[in-house]
Structure 1
Amino acid sequence: MKNTKKEYSNGEVTVVYDSAICIHAGTCFKGLPTVFQPGTRPWIKMQGADTESIIKQVQKCPSRALSFYMNTPEEDEADKGPIKALETGKKVEVMTNGPLMVEGPITLVRSDGKREVMEDACYFCRCGASKNKPFCDGTHNDIGFKE
């Protein structure tokens, strides 16, 4: 099977492009044309913007054909101590013996296709017993849900 993924890095962040799932919406190059330049090779010019701008634009990719990961320090830098976690946008937290907390604002797409903007943090059921799915209603406490 052909590898459809290519990686582009500026040293701090690496952008991963998966051509197999790209829907060519144009969100990338319309939003950050100094970095995303279809028709040129390489088409992603990582020196065209700062790391934060690149990350913000990649997060807007509707198909998720664009993704990213933060590069870790070189081995000699890593020996100086633990690598600090890099916050890269919204936070998703698994609550101990409880729900999944997702920081807002987010767009919730329901199983029927209905879209709803959630401005604040959302708590999603993990135990399966909520009477208000997909949201947590605290039922996990009543049924003794444990991870």
Structure 2
Amino acid sequence: MTSEREPGVAVTADGPYLVSGPVRITRKAVVRSAAGEALVWASPRELPPAPERADGAVRLCRCGRSASKPYCDDSHRRTGFDGTEAAEPAGPYDEHAVSLGGTGIEVRDYPRLCVGAGFCENHAANVWDMTARTADSVVREVAMGMVERCPSGRLTYRLAADAPDNEPDLPVEVAAVADGPLWLTGRVPVRLTDGRELEVRNRVALCRCGASRNKPLCDGSHARVGFRDGDPEE
């Protein structure tokens, strides 16, 4: 995008997201093991640019029905999409996150933000069990990596109870995750239809299947409804 405006995402009433400012739009997929376990994020792939509106914004689909995903093609109008928001406004994470403890690290968890990406567990371990064993620096390192790959920021960690969250260095970007949410990174503000903003965070997962019960945030419903975005290269 070439607009010189500050980065931002606006949720429109029963319509698309409007992405403004220098926010790169990409495609990302999860690399999985033979057993289906989430391992890492594949390198992002640039998407062809979409036509910008007169105000420089790009429209991204959130009803899940566009034939031009991740871009909007006005399918929300034809299908009567109900995009009513249910997510809480500014500041929910510190108010609701539960501390899982740890040694040399404090892991926190806000389950309502879960999108089911699966980076937090595999056949050998999961973050919740590992936290009690983080006196072992190898275990601590693995737990940190799992938390940092969580796209929604459900899981965070800090190096001391009074320290800020230790966040990965992520680009100002919105990535269409294969058959999943829009992954917004780099502390881009999200404005709701009533003018309030969600808490500005480094990692936010936005619904694009249209079925989330926590709109505009993803709640993993894309798996429940079998959402497919039909990317011909995957």
What TM-score comes out, normalization by structure 1 length? 0.40
What TM-score comes out, normalization by structure 2 length? 0.27
Greater gyration radius: 1
The one of the two structures with greater contact order (alpha-carbon pairs below 8 A, sep at least 6) is: 2
